[in-house]
Chain A
Amino acid sequence: MATITKQARNKIWAFLALGTFVGLLLLPLFLSLPAGAGDTPAPAASTASAAAAPADAKPVEKSRDVWYKTEGPVVGAPAPKTTDSAKDYPRYNFESRVILWVALQQHLYYGSFVLAVPIFCMIVEYLGVITKDKALSRKYDQLAYDFVKISLTAYSITALLGGIVIFTFLTLYPTFFGYLSSIFRPVMATYALLFIAESGTLYIYYYAWDKMREGFLKWIHVAMSVILNVIGTVLMMLANSWIAFMQSPAGVDADGRYLGNVWHVIHTTLWNPINVHRLLGNMAFGGGVVAAYAAYRFLTAKSDEERSHYDWMGYVAMFIGICFLIPLPFAGYWLMREVYAYRQQMGITLMGGLLAWLFIIQAVMIGALFLTANYYLWQGMDRMRGAERYQKYIKYMVFVLIMCFIVWLTPHTMVMTPAELKAMGGQQHPVLGNYGVMSAKNGAINTIITTTVLSFIIYQRANKIPTVKWAPYGNAFLFGLFTMAYVNIIWLAIYGYYIPANVRVGLSVPQVASTLSCLFIGVILNSIMLKGAKDVGPIVWGQISVRGQYALIMLATSFTWMMGLMGYIRSSVRLFWHVNEIMRDNSPWAFTHTIGFGANMISFNVLFFWLTILFVFWLGSLGVKKVPATAPVGQKVPAPAGSH
């Protein structure tokens, strides 16, 4: 009886805790509702003055939104016209922009990490709850706990870096920051409240782990992770609204005067594409960092047990990261498409003008990422007996990947001397120039992704033989699906050369749909076929070459470098504007850096981040008394759902 009472009490407490979290989550929304009402007149402009002196009341000035083209009451001051002075741009004997660059980039790296890792935790903890195998369930649970432990220290560093960013803004760009704060005041207040809510949830989530380990309480704990991630994602989206506003402002008139509709300044045209792109990017980055951590622990492991555990951990992290990497180019494409739709010139500056060569570097990085991911999967086949059946196909996949990689990184135009220009007969090479256009590049990247999906399907079945009756038909269908997907992607790439640009641009959608068909239909069909399949041999975790582990470190470094690069590109495209076409940057640093300088800065940020995150890992390892219980080497340890 006493047990039942205790259980009931626990349930009540759990519900109360959950209710409090949900309440905290919804509180900022309620608070922001009045501010969000677009047609509510601002108190300063109407209510107060109308009550005090109705006779002298001036009509509320109205103006037109630069993006939504709607009329609204002017409730804010115009964007300040800054001058190159100590008042607007106080400075040290150093380029203020570079200081801010480092502070923001580090904050972003850590912010991305602490956004991604709890999502991993949620997925892995959930896997632990639904897994029937008790040993495996404990293993997943321990892994999720390890993840959140790492993110806890990183979370503190993120908060510290956030403080540094604010102080840097206040001390080096006070006028601009004042203007931005005046527009985003309710958003910033909401952000601060949500940050408190997230901190509270994270700490309770972590410290209540043992207390909420069993039964119904465990489900409450998993629900808490969902709430934690909802808060984290909303935080990210609010922060995104600031950068989206700077790039494609809305909710203000042509003079930069706020028109009282907070939703308009948040929901600018680039906000959602940036949200999706960043969320996916953060997840891929988080996966890369955790996988690199596991690789580091694998390489320094003293026993086979340790190697087995960290090999498995690296695989799980890489698997989740790659799941988010695959749709990332599509989200990037959507973002660029919206940039072109917003301002064509901005798109041209990015991809065909001043910043185009940075995009070539980005192409190299993306190609390297997919090559490395494939390489890791092929190396991972060493763990399985029976995988040798598929080894002979790898060389063909390498050929396809390399060819597509070359097309993918072919520049549209070359930087040349007049003599070279004359010798080549123009800015485009007569042959290679054909591969520098989007039609070819879309075909190349979709082929690369489809090949990665194929690699994964081969990895899935490396040590298995399907035993379902319809296996020959399933295999035939997979063969037909992939063959025709390749044919279709290449056909659409070629077709694009023969039709006008306005029709050609639409071909990217069926290309993406072809790739996604392979991803979803192929992987799901393969997984169903492998239900109850005959094992050729177990997965021997820990039995992978060290090259595979270096591949994980390479993946993580590439993610980090690419994030730095893309952030720089997105920010640079504003050129000499703080807020595009609204508030001009009149500081002495309103110029675009050379590619070399930009690349060095990105490399510095990457190195700085990795040095500090190693410190975080070291701190995390101090609390680890022993390696979590793992299956002995050679024993089968299931991998994430859908992989084995």
Chain B
Amino acid sequence: MVGQSREITTGMKIAIAVISLLVATAYFTFLDWGAMKIQGLDYFYMFRK
């Protein structure tokens, strides 16, 4: 129905933004770990030593 599309509230916008940040964080952490692992290096070197 034209003009009756569901409005996204501010709360939902914040929730979506937070979820997207969490997804991106997980993605980049995995990327960092994987990219180091394929080089035979330890991404968590500092935290283990």
Contact = CB atoms under 8 A, between A and B. Distances in A.
A450 to B, nearest CB: 12
Nearest to A478: B20
Nearest to B6: A469
B16 A472 contact: yes
A376 to B, nearest CB: 29
A476 B19 CA distance: 9
Contacts of A500: 45
Contacts of A216: none
Contacts of B21: 479-480, 483-484
Interface string B14-49: 001101111111011001100110110111011000
A572 B7 CA distance: 64
Interface stretch (A298-306, A509-517, A544-552, A553-561): A509-517
A375 B11 CA distance: 36
Interface in A97-129: none
A492 interface: yes
Question: Which residue, A473, A503, A510, has most C-beta atoms of chain B within 10 A?
Answer: A510
Nearest to A481: B24
Interface residues of B, number: 24
A315 to B, nearest CB: 31
A495 B46 contact: yes
A176 B13 CA distance: 69
B8 interface: yes
Contact of B45 (A472, A480, A485, A499): A499
Contacts, number: 71
A507 interface: yes
Nearest to A488: B28
B42 A513 contact: no
Contact of A492 (B19, B25, B27, B32): B32
A498 interface: yes
Nearest to A507: B36
A477 B32 CA distance: 19
Chain A interface: which size bin? Answer: 20 to 34
B36 A509 contact: yes
Contacts of A487: 28
A249 B6 CA distance: 67
A479 B20 contact: yes
Contacts of A502: 41
Contacts of B16: 472-473, 476
B46 A517 contact: no
B13 to A, nearest CB: 7
Given A507-B36, A510-B32, A510-B35, A480 B24 contact: yes
Contact of B31 (A477, A495, A506, A510): A510
Contact of B17 (A480, A485, A499, A503): A480
A607 to B, nearest CB: 43
A532 to B, nearest CB: 16
A513 B35 contact: yes
Contact of B28 (A485, A506, A507, A509): A485
A502 B41 CA distance: 9
Contacts of B22: 480
A506 B41 contact: yes
Nearest to A500: B45
Contact of A509 (B19, B23, B39, B45): B39
Interface of B: 8, 13, 16-17, 19-25, 27-28, 31-32, 35-36, 38-39, 41-43, 45-46
9 contacts: A477-B20, A477-B23, A481-B24, A484-B28, A498-B46, A499-B46, A503-B42, A506-B39, A509-B38
Given A480-B22, A484-B21, A517-B27, 19 more contacts: A472-B16, A473-B20, A479-B20, A480-B20, A481-B20, A483-B24, A485-B24, A488-B32, A499-B45, A500-B45, A503-B41, A503-B42, A506-B39, A509-B36, A509-B39, A510-B31, A510-B32, A510-B43, A513-B31
Per CB-CB distance, the 10 closest pairs between chain A and chain B, nearest first, are A480-B20, A484-B24, A510-B35, A480-B24, A506-B41, A488-B28, A510-B32, A476-B16, A476-B20, A509-B35
